[in-house]
Amino acid sequence: MTLLKEPDFGTPERPGPATVSVEVDGLPVTVPEGTSVLRAAAQAGVDIPKLCATDSLEAFGSCRLCVVEIDGRRGTPASCTTPCADGMKVSTQTPKVEKLRQGVMELYISDHPLDCLTCPANGDCELQDMAGVVGLRQVRYGYEGANHLEAEKDTSNPYFDFDPAKCIACSRCVRACGEVQGTFALTIEGRGFDSKVSAGAGETFMDSECVSCGACVQACPTSTLQERSVVELGMPTRSVVTTCAYCGVGCSFKAELRGDELVRMVPYKDGGANEGHSCVKGRFAFGYATHPDRQLRPMVREKITDPWREVEWDEAIGTVARRMRELQDRYGTSSVGAITSSRCTNEEVYVVQKMVRAAFGNNNVDTCARVCHSPTGYGLKQTFGESAGTQDFRSVAEADVIVVIGANPTDGHPVFASRMKRRLREGAKLIVIDPRRIDLVRSPHIEAEHHLQLRPSTNVAVVNAMAHVVVSEGLFDRDFVNARCEDFDEWAEFVARPENSPEAVEPITGVPAAELRAAARLYATAPNGAIYYGLGVTEHSQGSTMVMGMANLAMACGNIGRDGVGVNPLRGQNNVQGSCDMGSFPHELPGYRHVSDDAVRTVFENLWGGTLLAEPGLRIPNMFDAAIDGTFRGLFVHGEDIAQSDPNLKHVTAALEAMELVVVQDLFLNETAKFAHVFLPGASFLEKDGTFTNAERRINRVRAVTKPKTGKHEWQIVSEIATAMGYPMAYDHPSRIMEEIASVTPTFTGVSFELLDKLGSVQWPCNEEAPEGTPIMHVDEFVRGRGRFVVTSYVPTNERSTRRFPLVLTTGRILSQYNVGAQTRRTGNVAWHPEDILELHPHDAEDRGIKNGDMVTLASRVGQTTLRAEISDRMPTGVVYTTFHHPVTGANVVTTENSDWATNCPEYKVTAVQVGLARPTRAADSKPAADDLVMVVD
Amino acid sequence: MTATVPSERRMANDIAANLGHLPGERAAEEIAGHIGRFWDPRMRTRLYEFVDAGADGLDPLVVAAVKLLR
């Protein structure tokens, strides 16, 4: 593909039923009411020159290049700010406007470096293009006068430079930062000739509030804001449209290359999930794919204390197959298993679970979704009948009240957060339910109506109390409940009990009853109330109960089955949804169908051959227990670093050490690889061909930018292992795998690579009833028929604060880093987050003599680690917070074995801890190792 | 350090704590159903062994559920 350039219509679309018809240079065009003349002209095929206008931003009318003449109207209005009126006749090329445009351009160029031939944007500069379009032939004003040509360049950002000498003060960057990203970090400082773009209050980009999303770079019509990779490598010449491999938003990008070298990732305007926006990770943090740390050849070793030995693929695959079979011969069929990766494609995940079920002959397959959103799968299936979120991302634009529970979208799902913030700026009300004062609670032009700052582990008590208000005050939607749901009366009787009232639970939750009542009323009485949630819901001992509690609340208020409502999980990794869809859970075949279902098993047995087990296999934590017990001896770990990401790491590593065969497939020699006997090098997303499914069930194509650096596709490797084990498995292309998935999965029967290439993406279910997918689920009826209310008793966690461990630790993610950091730590993103830090309230810090920046010891009943403290009143007293992006910290050393009662999802969000000032036992570096420190506060 | 409470006992008790509100025999039935649907057979066997060894520390509802499972 050559360089893909999406058309720019100049101003945003104004969808609506009413239309107006105009003539542009004699060409008739009909457009929705409110459409600008500039956009109508573009739709008619007439490109009016422009500089300050672009269709991702509202019209601004500053550059005066898009001036036109309109019959019957005086002057030369800017076409970007002039809405079409029925019957309007527009002339875009008259001597008058041509002269005006030349004059405008002449002024711009008189204060712009004439270095086009050496400028990195040469060939991709709108100023350069417009100079040609308007026929600029001379600049009468010399450079002798005042100008900005010597303005100092800001190179503080690791990914892009800001060169004010090239700025034309069109404000596109400033507006993109506000309108698209919602951060408002940029402004125009000064007036008139002194006007200049400024990050924050005259700070550098790096020191400002800038979140490096790239929206400003994307919007800049010149080389003022320019990717450093373009400066270094040159302007790209071809594009490959693919999908980001970071969070569950699943943004579409144009991978832009020069030859075979990736120059930059540019967000794709036609991407259904992101519609042209990006975040710092997807836009810039792709350098890990070519990082020298990547291990590109397979390796084996007999014992984990032996040195690695690089081998050819045949030997590595043969070793895995032989040793897996030996273990099964010695310890039984069920002594081995695999973990699939939510970072890999659907096709890769499908073949791994197929290998386990058909070649290993058991159901010991699980996925890293176990440790994040398995309660979502369980809870939504129980209540709605399908293990997936109800809405598409666009739906938030119709929400009137948005409830964010246990999620931090601006850090974890930033591109969706930008959509949400846009809606909030338009006037939607916000309720945040979170122990921590996340950025959304108060950020530019946004303030939560209610922040229910509950104590960790009391989610269910809060949601029950909200339901209590809805039921006892008669705020529920009786018509919806009667027509669409079942078991309402039993549930309503339960939540109406006095013990579930806001007043009764206040001592448990810490949430003032009046505030909770007001929040419940706000949600219940909104025309459209939408719930968005994250791991702050699921990673609790009652994660599944809370998911069902939110589903109950949504059903009671009739907030299901249309735009603007719903219960929406914000998935952590790029393909959490897909890995679950593909049958990664040990109790479910693809499409969430239980292994005990004879009819379903028969479908797979007929296709795969052989007999499938009707009993569920081991979940990840069960695998660890069984390894220590001696009944589980071999594990294939596909793209997950369980020795860093899973809780109670001492238990995890003991399990890994107990196994006789650990196979790790990954990009890097990660922490888990330290316990591996075979290392199979994996391919980065830039080398993959397949699909990812994002949090809105959107199946996006992943297209290879380059061939696998390892010489093999991951689905190929897995197929060859299965074949070497005596179960022939072969595909000649990932599209064949998708064909197989579609043939056995009712919600995927319409999905094919051809369809995805044609439509761009589809949201499952995609089948005969919904040939182009299903943006909103449960529209006329729930997947299970009637939505089921489930009684959700609050059960306190077993993890209790004690005198020895009086604080509660909760963990999370930061914008610039991703999960265990294997990718982002190998990019320029470390500039923002070089180490994990512990946030704690000033009172808790003062009690312990801790100052900002001190090294502190964080200890729980299972382990301890050391990290730097940051004193922050965004934490409530008694609660501390950290991230788990850096193995040197190993935050999961302190998290415990407690888990969700229904799914075994770990209770990462609640660990009783103590924090103390760390005192070096000897002269140590500024970042001492944990062994060098002792805790001085008991 | 590994878990001090046997996992199967802890998990079974957690299930009982969360389904214990159900009336009459339904609680034991739901607990049995949940364990049957989600637990690997070797985990169920370990649970049965706890029950046979005196059910020390096990919620009585789990014991009732095990009867149904068997």
Instruction: Give B8→chain A minimum CA distance, Å.
Output: 9
Q: Is A335 helix (H, G, I), strand (E, B) or coil?
A: helix
Dmax (CA) of chain A:
91
- Answer whether B68's CB lies under 8 Å from B47's CB: no
Contact A901 B15 (CB under 8 A): yes
Closest CA to A776 of A277, A234, A395: A395
- Answer whether A434's CB lies under 8 Å from A451's CB: yes
Contacts of A44 (CB under 8 A, 6+ apart): A24, A25, A27, A28, A29
- Averaged pLDDT, B47-52: 95
Task: Report the run of H or E that residue A24 belongs to, with start and end.
Answer: strand A19-24
What is the model's pTM? 0.95
Question: What's the start-to-end Cα distance of chain A, in Å?
Answer: 63
pLDDT at A934: 42
Assess if residue B18 is contained within a domain: yes
Token pair listed for A487: 């078991």
DSSP A379-439: HHHHHTSSSS-S--GGGGGG-SEEEEES--HHHHSHHHHHHHHHHHHTT-EEEEE-SS--G
Per residue in A830-857, pLDDT (tens digit) is 999 999 999 999 999 999 999 999 999 9
Token pair listed for A705: 């930018």
pLDDT at residue A361 greater than cutoff 60: yes
- Answer whether A426's CB lies under 8 Å from A552's CB: no
A90 — alpha (psi -120 to 50), left (phi > 0) or beta? beta
- Averaged pLDDT, A903-930: 75
Q: CB distance from B70 to chain A under 8 Å?
A: no
Confidence class for position A920, pLDDT limits 50, 70, 90: low
Closest CA to A304 of A658, A718, A710: A658
Contact A586 B40 (CB under 8 A): yes
pLDDT at B6: 84
Closest CA to A280 of A124, A411, A446, A180: A411
From chain A, pick out residues whose CB is under 8 angstroms from the CB of B3.
625, 648, 651, 897
pLDDT at A1: 67
Contact B42 A626 (CB under 8 A): yes
The rounded percent of chain A whose pLDDT value lies above 70 is 98
pLDDT at B1: 40
Do the bridges between strand A186-189 and strand A160-162 make them parallel or antiparallel, or are there none, so unpaired? unpaired
Tracing tokens 């503080």 back to the chain, one arrives at A156
The amino acid at residue A188 is I
Q: CB distance from A797 to chain B under 8 Å?
A: no
Contact A625 B7 (CB under 8 A): yes
The rounded percent of chain A whose pLDDT value lies above 90 is 92
From chain A, pick out residues whose CB is under 8 angstroms from the CB of B7.
621-622, 625, 897
The count of domains in chain B is: 1
Burial of A576 (0-12, 13-18, 19+ CB in 10 A): buried
User: How far lies A448's CA from each of A437, A453, A460, in Å?
Assistant: 10, 12, 21
pLDDT at residue B5 greater than cutoff 50: yes
Q: CB distance from A457 to chain B under 8 Å?
A: no
User: What's the distance, CA A138 to chain centroid?
Assistant: 49
Instruction: Give A618→chain B minimum CA distance, Å.
Output: 5
Confidence class for position A884, pLDDT limits 50, 70, 90: confident
Confidence class for position B3, pLDDT limits 50, 70, 90: very low
DSSP A748-807: GTT--HHHHHHHSEEES--SSS-TT--SS-SSSSBTTBSEE---------S----SSS-E
- Answer whether A694's CB lies under 8 Å from A574's CB: yes
**B5: closest chain A residue by CA:** A897
Contact A902 B21 (CB under 8 A): no
Domain A807-935 fold is Barwin-like endoglucanases (2.40.40)
Main-chain dihedrals φ then ψ at residue A523, nearest 5 degrees: -65, -45
Per residue in A564-583, pLDDT (tens digit) is 999 999 998 999 999 999 99
- Answer whether A403's CB lies under 8 Å from A529's CB: yes
In CATH terms, A19-133 corresponds, of 3.30.800.10, 3.30.420.40, 3.30.70.100, 3.10.20.740, to 3.10.20.740
Question: What's the start-to-end Cα distance of chain B, in Å?
Answer: 33
Q: CB distance from B2 to chain A under 8 Å?
A: yes
From chain B, pick out residues whose CB is under 8 angstroms from the CB of A364.
40
- Answer whether A68's CB lies under 8 Å from A90's CB: yes
How would you label A278-316 residue by residue, b for 16+ Cβ within 10 Å and e otherwise?
bbbbbbbbbbbbeeeebbeebbbbeeeeeebeebebeeb
**B39: closest chain A residue by CA:** A616
Whether a cis peptide bond, with omega within 30° of 0, leads into A12 is: no
- Averaged pLDDT, A359-371: 95
Confidence class for position A887, pLDDT limits 50, 70, 90: confident
Closest CA to A300 of A313, A287, A291, A282: A313
| A148 vs A239, higher pLDDT | A239
Confidence class for position A931, pLDDT limits 50, 70, 90: very low
Assess if residue B2 is contained within a domain: no
Token pair listed for A763: 């949201």
**A894: closest chain B residue by CA:** B1
In CATH terms, A160-290 corresponds, of 3.40.630.30, 3.30.390.50, 3.40.50.1980, 3.30.70.20, to 3.30.70.20
Instruction: Give B24→chain A minimum CA distance, Å.
Output: 15
Q: Which of A136-145, A371-380, A736-745, A920-929 has the lowest mean pLDDT?
A: A920-929
**A364: closest chain B residue by CA:** B40
What integer best gives the mean pLDDT of chain A?
Answer: 95
Instruction: Give A614→chain B minimum CA distance, Å.
Output: 10
How would you label A198-223 residue by residue, b for 16+ Cβ within 10 Å and e otherwise?
bbbeeeebeebbbbbbbbbbbbbbbb
The Cβ of residue A80 has, within 10 Å, a number of other Cβ atoms equal to 28
Contact A902 B38 (CB under 8 A): yes
From chain A, pick out residues whose CB is under 8 angstroms from the CB of B38.
587, 616, 619, 902-903
CA angle A669, A674, A676 (to 5 degrees): 90
Q: CB distance from B67 to chain A under 8 Å?
A: no
Q: Which domain does B39 fall in, by range?
A: 7-69
Tracing tokens 């100008």 back to the chain, one arrives at A147
| Best residue in B14, B34, B37, B47 for a mutation probing chain A (most A CBs within 10 Å) | B14
Main-chain dihedrals φ then ψ at residue A719, nearest 5 degrees: -60, -40
Contact A897 B11 (CB under 8 A): no
Contact A334 B42 (CB under 8 A): yes
Q: What are the residue ranges spanned by the domains of chain A? A: 19-133, 160-290, 299-371+576-763, 374-569, 807-935
- The span from the CA of A104 to the CA of A61, in Å, is 13
How many beta-carbon contacts under 8 Å exist across A and B?
A: 75
Contacts of A313 (CB under 8 A, 6+ apart): A298, A711, A712, A717, A720
- Answer whether A466's CB lies under 8 Å from A523's CB: yes
Task: Report the run of H or E that residue A217 belongs to, with start and end.
Answer: helix A215-219
How many CA atoms does the CB half-sphere of A896 hold within 13 Å? Answer: 27
Task: Report the run of H or E that residue A601 belongs to, with start and end.
Answer: helix A598-608
- The span from the CA of A755 to the CA of A761, in Å, is 8
Contact A897 B1 (CB under 8 A): no
* Residue A181 per-residue DSSP state: I
* Residue A499 per-residue DSSP state: G
- Answer whether A246's CB lies under 8 Å from A252's CB: no
Assess if residue B48 is contained within a domain: yes
The Cβ of residue A607 has, within 10 Å, a number of other Cβ atoms equal to 12
**A903: closest chain B residue by CA:** B38
Contact B40 A618 (CB under 8 A): yes
| A921 vs A904, higher pLDDT | A904
| CATH entry 3.60.40.10 includes domain A374-569 | no
Q: Measured between CB atoms, which of B14, B17, B43 is closest to A622?
A: B43
Q: Measured between CB atoms, which of A617, A795, A903 is closest to B40?
A: A617
Contact A594 B39 (CB under 8 A): no
Contact A616 B22 (CB under 8 A): no
Assess if residue B1 is contained within a domain: no
Per residue in A501-526, pLDDT (tens digit) is 999 999 999 999 999 999 999 999 99
pLDDT at residue A327 greater than cutoff 60: yes
pLDDT at residue A930 greater than cutoff 80: no
- The span from the CA of A595 to the CA of A586, in Å, is 8
Task: Report the run of H or E that residue A643 belongs to, with start and end.
Answer: helix A642-645
Contact B1 A650 (CB under 8 A): yes
Gyration radius (Cα) of chain A, Å: 29
Contact A902 B15 (CB under 8 A): yes
- Tell me which architecture the domain covering A299-371+576-763 has in CATH: 3-Layer(aba) Sandwich (3.40)
Confidence class for position A38, pLDDT limits 50, 70, 90: very high
**A365: closest chain B residue by CA:** B40
* Residue A319 per-residue DSSP state: H
